[in-house]
Amino acid sequence: MHYREANTADIPQLQLVRHSVRENILSDPALVTDELCALYLTERGKGWVCEVDGQVTGFSIVDLQNHNVWALFLRPEHEGQGIGKCLHDLMLDWYFRKTKETIWLGTDPGTRAALFYRKQGWKEVGLHGKGEIKFEMSYAVWQAKKPAL
């Protein structure tokens, strides 16, 4: 497994990963365009990928402008291998080096993702969007929990 910063050349593979998920499925895949991905990777924040044999198996993207996790997705066949945790930790470490603002994310209730975020120290603070759970992570909680990268 190889982790690195994502770039716009990765977008076709990011889209493949995003469309392969079994949970948090996009209601309208056409809404997440290549142009939107590029905007989040180059202007609004930053992203990371995990590659196995040259193929992107997972990715994360954080939005510095809205202080949220825009994406953290894995190919289903690569779940349970620590890829999501590593992408999560790389993303939050970078985010909290840039700002001390609390970060948030939304995910569907009753999913493995919701369990994952709770395990990582995220606090459930209510609902967001169309019934998603809204989680938050503060700078102080991250500093107390963050691994040595």
**CATH number for the domain harbouring residue 114:** 3.40.630.30
| 61-to-46, 69, 132, 139 alpha-carbon distances in Å | 6, 6, 18, 18
Give the pTM.
0.91
Q: Is the pLDDT of residue 149 over 60?
A: no
Where does the pLDDT of residue 130 fall: very low under 50, low under 70, confident under 90, or very high at 90 and above? confident
Q: Rounded distance, CA 11 to CA 8, Å?
A: 5
Give the ranges where the chain is alpha helix by DSSP (H): 11-20, 34-39, 83-98, 112-119, 139-145
20 compared with 64, residue with greater pLDDT: 64
For residue range 33-71, what is the model confidence (pLDDT) as tens digits?
899 999 999 999 999 999 999 999 999 999 999 999 999
Q: How many structural domains compose the chain?
A: 1
Average pLDDT value over all residues in the chain: 91
The single-letter DSSP state of residue 134 is: E
CB 118 within 8 A of CB 146: no
Q: Tell me the residue range of the domain where 71 lies.
A: 2-75+82-145
The single-letter DSSP state of residue 98 is: H
